[in-house]
Amino acid sequence: MNNLAKNNYFNDYFNLFDTPFLKESSFMKTDIYEKGEEYNLKIDLPGLEKENINISYENGYLTITANKKSEIEEINNYIRRERFIGEVKRSFYIGSKKESDIKATYQNGILTITFPKEEEPKKSTKNITIK
């Protein structure tokens, strides 16, 4: 099999599996759940170093930016390249929070962010005097 036929074979074969879950736009898979009095986000960021992840909070939006740099490789004859390289960004509206109440940890490729639930407004009944 010559190189051109080999490349077309691999491209045709792998294109069968070219679904959205393999695209860079779905790189930041996130689970959101509540636990006790706080919300938790668990975000998959495989293969990243903590130094390449930035979390910002502005106007009620929590924004996660991750940058995966290319490893230095001398391979120029890729048949297919699917591993993501570049920057991804995702925002979540979390409402008004104190920045000090937002906590983040990163371990084994998973970024975990926790923040308190918003306090429900206390209902108070006021009696109106009839004159």
Per-residue model confidence as pLDDT tens for the chain (131 residues): 444 444 444 444 444 444 444 444 467 899 999 999 999 999 999 888 999 999 999 999 999 999 887 665 666 677 777 776 788 899 999 999 999 999 999 999 999 999 998 766 666 677 778 88
Spell out a b/e string for 10-31, using b for 16 or more CB atoms within 10 Å of the CB, else e.
eeeeeeeeeeeeeeeeebbeee
What is the count of structural domains for the chain? 1
Domain containing residue 89: 24-70+82-116
Please write down the long-range contacts of 103-107, taking CB distance under 8 Å and 24 or more positions apart: 104/55, 106/45, 106/50, 106/53
- Whether 3 maps to a domain, the answer reads no
Q: Which amino acid makes up residue 92? A: F
Is position 62 within any domain? yes
Domain contains 127: no
The SS3 assignment for 92 reads strand
Which CATH number does the domain housing residue 38 bear?
2.60.40.790
